[in-house]
Chains A and B, each alone.
Chain A
Amino acid sequence: MKALIILFFLLNTTAWAETIRLKPGDSIKDAVERAAIGDIITLSAGEYLEHDIIIRKPLTLIGEGMPVINGRDQGDVFIVAGENIHFNGLRIINTGRSNIDDSAAIKFYDSKNCSVENIELENTFFGLHFSNSSNLTIKNNKLFSEAEREYQTGNGIHLWKCKDSLIEGNDVKGHRDGIYLEFVTNTISQNNIIHENKRYGLHFMFSHNNSYIKNTFRKNGAGVAVMYTRNVIMKDNIFEENEGASSYGILLKDISDSEVTGNIFRKNTIGIYMEGSSRTIFKNNSFTNNGWALKLMASCDNNTFEANNFSANTFDISTNGSVVLNTLKDNYWDKYEGYDLNKDKVGDIPYRPISLFSVIVEKIPSAVILWRSFLVTLLDRMEKIIPAITPENMIDNSPKMKPYDLS
């Protein structure tokens, strides 16, 4: 009986939710105005020329065959403030370009339980812009911007003061920051591909308790930069081909109590640059073909680097001082030249990952021109035998003889 009553109510609610069908030429604004709470608006394929469509009640907008909503370079396309508002299968192009009101394809204010799925954005200033919202689902969207300069475009997925959200499977290209989070908590970003953005692939500040899993950050202007945050989990991400004078796989500034595990850093100028960070664990990461695998500034403390693979990097680690308050253990270093007499797969003599020349290059960048010359090789050898300039404590006492199988 109870079940029947529930079924009755369920049927009733679906019966209440009416579907409004629109075809090109119809006004989306009118449809939104007309719609009752919980209605579904379907847009059939074609082009709709509209902007500043304001939605304040629970609605679902579904596109059939990727209808195009063209903002004609004016303002925002959708402005949303409400609960249970869902977007699915639309293509939104040509928003205005304004830094004063941050023009975006879809802009959410003070919203809850909203979702944006399977949306394609092109030539938008900001892509998806959320502020003061919670329980958001941002899934399988494609955001492409074709700006040539950083100031000509906004962020792809921009969250400000949001919480409890999911950002999954998005493809962001050519924006200023791929994903930008500020004051965002308890949010998961996974399986996103963030590439060729003008500034950072991922940029967050004051965003605690978030996790970033299986994302790919490729060829972004300055890599990934994250600041002033604690309890971050970064797992199984790929950071690659971020090349340039100030380009990093990740730049960590004042990050604490975090975990960076199972990531791959490939072909970056600097794999990880760390400053003022503490109590963070780096485990099972693989650093290959980077200029510097790690730049560990002396202001970092109590970080642990454990069981990572370092191979084919020009320099493994460099630092700017003689104080080392971090621990290196059980890593594999391809430059290690020690031996293993007792066959426990751990090298018998410790490895010092900082070479004399990396110290010199840190002080005088021009000296990089002498890299791989006979003189430099000779100096490095001498320093390895009698360490004089390199920090005494930057040392791995248990270097592995074989690389870990991390794939």
Chain B
Amino acid sequence: MFKLLKYSLYDILKSRFAILYTIFMVLVAVSIYQVSEDLSKVSLSLLNIMLMIVPLIAAVFATTHFFNNLEFTELMLAQPVKRRNVFLSQILAVIIMLSAAIVIGFGIPMLIWGADESILILLAIGIALSIVFAGLAFLASVMTRDKAKAIGISLSFWIYFSLIYDGFVLYLIYSLSDFPLEKTTLGLVFLNPVDLGRIIMLMKLDISTLMGYTGAFFQNFFGSAQGILLSSFILLIWMSWPVATAMRIFKRKDF
């Protein structure tokens, strides 16, 4: 397992993409720190990166990595190793690389210019979203044989969670505005990891607005220990179920 993981990691590091992604992160972080005058603005600008770019790159990179390494995977499957280990080594390598890029990319500027609690939470959310979307991408990859199709599916996951889903929620809230919808929207938020990450951040950044009636409702929920536990738990479920499902399909898959 560790040997497999080691080789997969070597493989990823050898491809230039990992380095490019890390450099891109460093550049983004440095420019945001340079432009913004205070830390709350930094976390605001980083929020957009974390919610949009990170999932996109995670999804695309994980899919391409799966197909680029398909031959290696097939070779490994011919060896007396467990399928589970082969699969886990692949996805763990991707996750480690994506997280490392975020930690190094944002970590260096943070060490230089300082950070606060909300930026650290933001980093954690970035890593969580990387894991979720890497998992979804692997799920898309094992479901199909075609690389292009798999990338298409991964991208549609991304578009769905970052755009279409919110449109659907907005439409629902708009058309049912006569009803008390606080609990419903809270439930709907749990069905989308990107929204979940965004709202955890909102609670940190826009406290003043959110203290309005509806806001206070969400604040009470996400601010309480119970709410934090529940939302972390749901985020954990989001991180694990695509991986688990993908692994189950992978185990039975005929290559």
Please give the residue numbers on chain A whose beta carbons come within 8 Å of chain B beta carbons, in ascending order: 243-245, 247, 267-269, 289-292, 312, 314-315, 360, 363-378
Contact = CB atoms under 8 A, between A and B. Distances in A.
Contacts of B212: 245, 269, 291, 365, 368
A255 B209 CA distance: 25
Interface string B33-47: 000000011000001
B51 to A, nearest CB: 7
Contacts of B206: 291, 314, 371-372
7 contacts: A243-B211, A245-B213, A315-B209, A364-B173, A366-B182, A371-B202, A374-B51
Nearest to B208: A291
A369 B185 contact: yes
Nearest to B184: A366
B52 A368 contact: no
Interface stretch (B71-79, B109-117, B214-222, B247-255): B214-222
A291 B214 contact: no
B216 A244 contact: yes
Contacts of B23: none
A370 B211 contact: no
A268 B208 contact: yes
Given A312-B40, A312-B41, A375-B170, A368 B215 contact: yes
B225 to A, nearest CB: 21
Contacts of A372: 47-48, 198, 201-202, 205-206
Contacts of B210: 291, 368
Interface of B: 40-41, 47-48, 51-52, 162-163, 166-167, 169-170, 173-174, 177, 181-182, 185, 189, 194-195, 198-199, 201-202, 205-216, 218
Contacts of A314: 206, 208-209
B41 A365 contact: no
A289 B162 CA distance: 27
B12 to A, nearest CB: 28
B189 A374 contact: no
A58 to B, nearest CB: 50
Given A312-B40, A371-B202, A376 B166 contact: yes
Contact of B177 (A268, A364, A370, A376): A364
A370 B47 contact: no
A268 B213 CA distance: 14
Nearest to A357: B170
Contacts of B194: 373
